Amino acid sequence: MIRKLTMEDDQQVQTLIQQKPAENLFIIGDIEAFGYDQDFQTVWGDFDNNNLRAILLKYEKNYIPFALDTFDANGFAKIINEDPDQPMLSGLKDITAQIEPYLTITYQKKRETHYAKLTSNTQLPLVNTHAVKLLTSEDVDRLGAFLTNVREFDSLLFNAESKRRNLEKGVTRGYYIENNGQIVSTASTTAENTKSAMVVAVATAESYQQKGLATRCLTKLCKDLVTEGKQLCLFYDNPNAGKLYKRIGFEDIGIWMMYR
């Protein structure tokens, strides 16, 4: 049986999703931040004999399902199919693959990317991180100027106001190395919650590459968050990037699908 969930269901929800904190990064963060009673967010649950076995979270236009085993995939697909507002779907491939056969929506893009997590700092390199600084609200404009001049991020629409708001709310943090007052390397988190966080925006200025600066920023970030008891996760497409992440202890946990 599928029904909408309320705060009264939260204990069952947390029991399910906290078994996989990294895999449920977005679901955990959205429920922590916005709960069950918002115009832009709805959470459904699939119950088997009153036991919650799967959830489907809708945040604005995006649906994210999660289950540990089989569930009513047809029922979840029906909810998505009946949404008139061009719904998107994201999630682990082994879960979205159960829903996909029942979808009647024609998606323009279907993208898959590697999803990896870090739960221990034992493989982090022994590098000097004294020069790595924690990003503050005063540094946000410099960060935006830096990222939009890095080739991999030249199409990034950097929103300084949103970045400051998220820093103050504690759902993002950033680390950087500077030279002569200019940021030259950085690594950040996003979607940070009490159990996990997503690593994003790992970048180094072209003239400072191959000096291990990004490794220092990333090492400091990972060490701090793992020490706080949080699992880190990230997406990657580039096999070379995957090798770097695996060297410092990240392990693949699945394929993340995005239907647009």
81 and 140 part of one domain: no
Structural domain count, the chain: 2
Tell me whether residue 113 is in a domain: no
Predicted pLDDT at 23: 92
185 and 84 part of one domain: no
Predicted pLDDT at 233: 94
End position of a domain, from candidates 82, 107, 132: 107
Tell me whether residue 112 is in a domain: no
Q: Compute the distance between CA of residue 158 and CA of residue 120 in angstroms, rounded to an integer.
A: 31
pLDDT digits (tens, 9 = 90+) for 159-216: 888 899 889 888 899 999 999 999 999 999 998 998 999 999 999 999 999 999 999 9
Tell me whether residue 251 is in a domain: yes
Predicted pLDDT at 244: 82
237 and 129 part of one domain: yes
Q: Which domain holds residue 81?
A: 2-107
Contact call for residues 25 and 6 (beta carbons, < 8 A): no
12 and 50 part of one domain: yes
Residue 153 in this model has a pLDDT that exceeds 80? no
Tell me whether residue 95 is in a domain: yes
Q: Are strands 231-236 and 196-204 parallel, antiparallel or unpaired?
A: parallel
Residue 157 in this model has a pLDDT that exceeds 80? no
35 versus 157: which is more confidently predicted?
Answer: 35
127 and 163 part of one domain: yes
Residue 241 in this model has a pLDDT that exceeds 70? yes
From 202, 25, 225, select the one nearest 124 (Cα to Cα).
225
Tell me whether residue 227 is in a domain: yes
Q: Predicted confidence band at 9 (pLDDT cuts at 50, 70, 90)?
A: very high
Predicted pLDDT at 33: 85
142 and 251 part of one domain: yes
Predicted pLDDT at 47: 98
Predicted pLDDT at 237: 86
pLDDT digits (tens, 9 = 90+) for 55-98: 999 998 999 999 999 999 999 999 999 999 889 999 999 999 99
pTM (predicted TM-score)? 0.82
End position of a domain, from candidates 107, 135, 161: 107
Q: At what angle do helices 160-169 and 140-147 cross, to 10 degrees?
A: 130
Which phi-psi region, left, alpha or beta, contains residue 52 (left: φ > 0; alpha: ψ -120 to 50)?
beta
67 and 128 part of one domain: no
End position of a domain, from candidates 107, 130, 154: 107
pLDDT digits (tens, 9 = 90+) for 248-259: 999 999 999 999
Q: Are strands 182-190 and 51-59 parallel, antiparallel or unpaired?
A: unpaired
Predicted pLDDT at 155: 66
Tell me whether residue 179 is in a domain: yes
Q: Which of 48-57, 100-109, 147-156, 241-250 is least confident? A: 147-156
From 14, 91, 101, select the one nearest 58 (Cα to Cα).
91
81 and 43 part of one domain: yes
151 and 69 part of one domain: no
DSSP character at residue 127: -
235 and 154 part of one domain: yes
Contact call for residues 94 and 101 (beta carbons, < 8 A): no
Quote the tokens at residue 69.
């085993």
Instruction: Tell me the average pLDDT of the chain.
Output: 93
In the chain, the N- to C-terminal Cα span, in Å, equals 28
251 and 167 part of one domain: yes
From 188, 197, 180, select the one nearest 143 (Cα to Cα).
188
Contact call for residues 195 and 231 (beta carbons, < 8 A): yes
The DSSP result for 6-64, as a single string, is -GGGHHHHHHHHTTSTTTTHHHHHHHHHHTT-BTTEEEEEEEETTEEEEEEEEETTEEE
- Residue percentage of the chain with pLDDT more than 90: 77
Which uninterrupted H or E stretch holds 158?
none
